[in-house]
Amino acid sequence: PSRLPGYATHQLGVAGESHRVPCEHRASTVNAWKFPGGLSNPGEDIGDTAVREVFEETGIKSEFKSILSIRQQHQHPGAFGKSDMYIICRLEPSSFNINFCQQECLRCEWMDLDELARTKHATPITSNVAKLLLYGYREGFDKIDITMREFPAVYTGRFYKLYHRELPKSYRNMT
Amino acid sequence: PSRLPGYATHQLGVAGESHRVPCEHRASTVNAWKFPGGLSNPGEDIGDTAVREVFEETGIKSEFKSILSIRQQHQHPGAFGKSDMYIICRLEPSSFNINFCQQECLRCEWMDLDELARTKHATPITSNVAKLLLYGYREGFDKIDITMREFPAVYTGRFYKLYHRELPKSYRNMT
């Protein structure tokens, strides 16, 4: 089978205290801010890709909290004829210094969410997720989070990860 | 590139009136109910796969409403070495007669959500999603839905679909 990943994973870090997110301005994009991110390695979990790529691109350490948004796109240039899944995660940073590669990125900065939601110099998906984050930051992240639970696989005994809206305990423990 | 889909899509239909969902009992699984579903065709949208597969397997006509749950699983037998994404959708049925292939399925029936959430004869993901649906049915589907919005792609002018929690209008229209 092809070694190319079947889907891409992108991600973002969000600082709880400061309602700011790291954004990069790539040399390859025209005047547009976007979240740091990149492709999953084969067999890598969504959250692990997000944490790894944010660290590689920005030097920021973080922890996976939830999935925020999923995009399915067909015949995207660069997707090698596959449908690509672009998944945006919410991460909680534990370090804040930015250290980026100046050959790939023109700029990489902590951006204010409110500014990012309003600027014209962001991709539509970036400003849309910025609005979602602003809503979560003000009203509670439970309004926007798609959280993760682990389950044992029936045949293999391995664990798999299931992402959905938070389910109240009274329903989870139903038997 | 490989013609194999990078991820699988499964789905379910839910009847608003009757809080019942169609479930099948496949000849290949041991005493376990699961939702009807199958693989995406290349270039097919998630919701279109769900509607098509439910119709092919059960004869039930339906409309896509939302994504309910996403599973990422690695080295699954039958996934050809790829990580597989199994996406469960909420569909609204417009027809209710079940017509299924007796070679693939032993039984295919409308199951009561409450029963499906409690039975031991369902896969863990099926009973978990049944609990999620029961919660949504009782408290409002906005508690569980991951809804879809369309956006224009920056470079190609095509539209793509973005799935996330519902964003209030005041945030959506922010400029």
Tell me if residue A112 falls in helix, strand or coil.
strand
ipTM over 0.90: no
Instruction: Name the phi and psi angles at B47, rounded to 5.
Output: -65, -35
* Residues 82-101 in B contacting A (C-alpha not used; CB under 8 Å): 82-83, 85
Predicted pLDDT of residue A3: 40
Return the residue in A2, A72, A170 with the most chain B beta carbons within 10 A, the one to mutate for interface testing.
A72
Return the residue in A9, A83, A149, A170 with the most chain B beta carbons within 10 A, the one to mutate for interface testing.
A83
Among the residue ranges A78-92, A116-130, B59-73, the one predicted with the least confidence is A78-92
Average pLDDT over residues B46-69: 91
Contact A89, A65 (CB under 8 A): yes
pLDDT tens profile B59-97: 999 999 999 999 887 765 555 555 678 899 999 889 888
d(CA B16, CA B41): 28
Contact A156, B77 (CB under 8 A): yes
CB contact under 8 A, A135 and B6: no
Instruction: Name the phi and psi angles at A22, rounded to 5.
Output: -75, 135
pLDDT tens profile B20-41: 788 888 777 667 888 888 888 8
Tell me which long-range contacts A40-45 makes (C-beta under 8 A, separation of at least 24).
A40/A5, A40/A7, A40/A8, A40/A9, A40/B83, A41/A5, A42/A3, A42/A5, A42/B81, A42/B82, A42/B83, A43/B74, A43/B75, A43/B83, A44/B83, A45/A161, A45/B72, A45/B74
Average pLDDT over residues B109-129: 89
Q: Choose among A131, A174, A175: nearest Cβ to B172.
A: A131
Predicted confidence band at A4 (pLDDT cuts at 50, 70, 90)?
very low
Predicted pLDDT of residue B82: 59
Predicted pLDDT of residue B143: 92
Instruction: Name the phi and psi angles at A80, rounded to 5.
Output: 55, 40
CB contact under 8 A, A160 and B82: no
pLDDT tens profile A99-115: 988 877 888 889 899 99
- What is the three-state SS of A65-107? EEEEEEEEECCCCCCCCCCEEEEEEEEEECCCCCCCCCCCEEE
d(CA A107, CA A128): 21
First CA to last CA distance, chain B: 41
Which residues, listed in sequence order, are joined to residue B163 by a DSSP beta bridge?
A: A70, B148
Does this model's pTM top 0.90? no
Q: What is the DSSP string of B63-75?
A: EEEEEEEEEEESS
